[in-house]
Structure 1
Amino acid sequence: MGTPNDLAVLHAIFNPNVPFGDFDEQNRDNTEVELDSVSDFSPALLEQVQTLEKRGVEAAESGELETALQRFNEAIILLPDWASAYNNRAQVLRLQGDVIGAVRDLDQALELSGGKGLVGCQALVQRGLILLLQGNHKAARKDLQNAAQEGSAYAKQLLIQLNPYAALCNSMLRDMMQKLQEPNSKSC
Structure 2
Amino acid sequence: MCTPNDTAVLHAIFNPSAPFGDICGDKDNNTQQEPDVDSRFPADLLEEAQNLELSGVRAAESGDVKAAVQKFTEAITLLPERPSAYNNRAQALRLAGDVTGALQDLDRAVELSKGMGISGRQALVQRGLILRLKGNDDAAREDFQRAAQLGSDFARQQLVALNPYAALCNRMLRDMVQKLQEPDLQEC
Q: Which residue of 2 aligns with 1:28?
A: 30
CA displacement 1:104-125 (0-9 Å, x = unmatched):
1000000000011111111111
Q: Does residue 15 of structure 1 match 2:17?
A: no
Residue type of the partner of 2:3? Answer: A
1:82–1:138 CA distance, 2 compared to 1 (3 A): same
- The offset of 1:15, in angstroms, is 3.0
- The offset of 1:32, in angstroms, is 1.4
Give the secondary structure class of the aligned counterpart of 2:12: coil
CA displacement 1:35-60 (0-9 Å, x = unmatched):
x2222101111111001101101110
CA distance in 1, matches of 2:37, 2:137: 32
- The offset of 1:146, in angstroms, is 0.7
CA distance in 2, matches of 1:158, 1:127: 12
- The offset of 1:158, in angstroms, is 0.9
- The offset of 1:29, in angstroms, is 6.1
1:79–1:14 CA distance, 2 compared to 1 (3 A): closer
* Paired residue total: 167
TM (normalized to structure 1)? 0.76
1:166–1:47 CA distance, 2 compared to 1 (3 A): same
- The offset of 1:167, in angstroms, is 5.1
1:7–1:26 CA distance, 2 compared to 1 (3 A): farther
- The offset of 1:100, in angstroms, is 0.9
Give the secondary structure class of the aligned counterpart of 1:15: helix
The answer on whether the counterparts of 2:8 and 2:157 sit within 8 Å (CA) in structure 1 is no
Identity of aligned residues (%): 57
Q: Which residue of 1 aligns with 2:61?
A: 61
CA displacement 1:114-163 (0-9 Å, x = unmatched):
01111111111111111111111111111111111111111111111111
Root-mean-square deviation (Å): 3.2
Q: Does residue 113 of structure 1 match 2:108?
A: no
Residue type of the partner of 1:110? Answer: V
Q: Aligned runs of 1:38-53 on 2, under 5 Å?
A: 38-53=38-53
Q: Does residue 94 of structure 1 match 2:89?
A: no
The answer on whether the counterparts of 2:110 and 2:123 sit within 8 Å (CA) in structure 1 is yes
- For structure 1, the residue ranges without an aligned partner over 5 or more in a row are 1-5, 19-23, 175-188
CA displacement 1:62-109 (0-9 Å, x = unmatched):
101111011101101100011000010001111111111111100000
Residue type of the partner of 1:84? Answer: S
CA distance in 2, matches of 1:143, 1:167: 19
